């Protein structure tokens, strides 16, 4: 089941990993995305660490690691087609992370909670 962060990321648990992307709301707020810099596979990251740079036509912003863990895969296709994020934010995953403490998403918002956040 999908969960959401206050930083407008969606989190999809798959086995012992979490797939992470940004929400359609976030992609609309960013505007047309023109550049994405992804973390290196194998990198160990802390929760809240800025690990993705997204540049839109308007500005640069960061995506943070939702939990501490190891990056196990990144969506290389986004580097060549950053506009995919605007076209279908839920399909344009950024990275997979293997949490250091196992997959536990109880502390994150569900769909209803996220909809309430963005009002």
Partner 1 sequence: MDALKRTPLYDLHVALGAKMVPFAGWEMPVQYPMGVLNEHLHTRKAAGLFDVSHMGQVILGGRDAVAGLEKLVPADVAGLAQGRQRYGLFTNPEGGILDDLMIANKGDHLFLVVNAACAAQDIAHLDAAGLAPEVVTDRALLALQGPAAEAALARLVPGVAGMRFMDVAEFEWTAPDGGSATLWVSRSGYTGEDGFEISLPADHAEAFTRALLDQPEVAPIGLGARDSLRLEAGLPLYGHDMDQGVSPAAAGLGWSIPKVRRAGGEREGGFPGAERILPELGKSARARRGLIPEGRAPIREGVELYRTSGSAEPIGRVTSGGFGPSVGGPVAMASLPADLPEGETVFAELRGKRIPARIAPMPFVTPTYKR
- Report the interface residues with partner 1, using CB under 8 A: 31-32, 34-35, 37, 53, 55, 57-58, 60, 79, 82-83, 86
Shortest distance, position 60 Cβ to partner 1, whole Å: 7
Shortest distance, position 114 Cβ to partner 1, whole Å: 22
> How far is residue 94's CA from residue 85's CA, in Å, rounded to a whole number?
9
Which residue number, 7 or 37, has a Cβ lying nearer to partner 1? 37
Shortest distance, position 72 Cβ to partner 1, whole Å: 23
DSSP labels, 22-91: E-HHHHHHH-SEEEEEPPPTT-EE-TT-EEEEEEESS-EEEEE-SSSEEEEEE-THHHH-TTHHHH-TTT
Which residue number, 27 or 67, has a Cβ lying nearer to partner 1? 27
Which residue number, 5 or 56, has a Cβ lying nearer to partner 1? 56
């Amino acid at each position: 089941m999908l969960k959401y962060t206050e930083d407008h990321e969606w989190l999809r648990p798959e086995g012992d990993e979490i797939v992470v992307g940004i929400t359609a709301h976030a992609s609309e707020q960013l505007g047309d995305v023109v550049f994405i810099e992804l973390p290196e596979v194998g990198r160990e990251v802390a929760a809240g660490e800025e690990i993705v740079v997204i540049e839109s036509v308007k500005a640069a912003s960061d995506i943070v690691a939702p939990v501490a863990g190891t990056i196990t895969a990144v969506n290389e296709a986004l580097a060549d087609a950053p506009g995919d994020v605007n076209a279908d934010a839920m399909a344009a995953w950024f990275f997979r992370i293997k949490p250091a403490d196992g997959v536990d998403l109880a502390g994150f918002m569900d769909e209803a909670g996220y909809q309430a956040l963005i009002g």
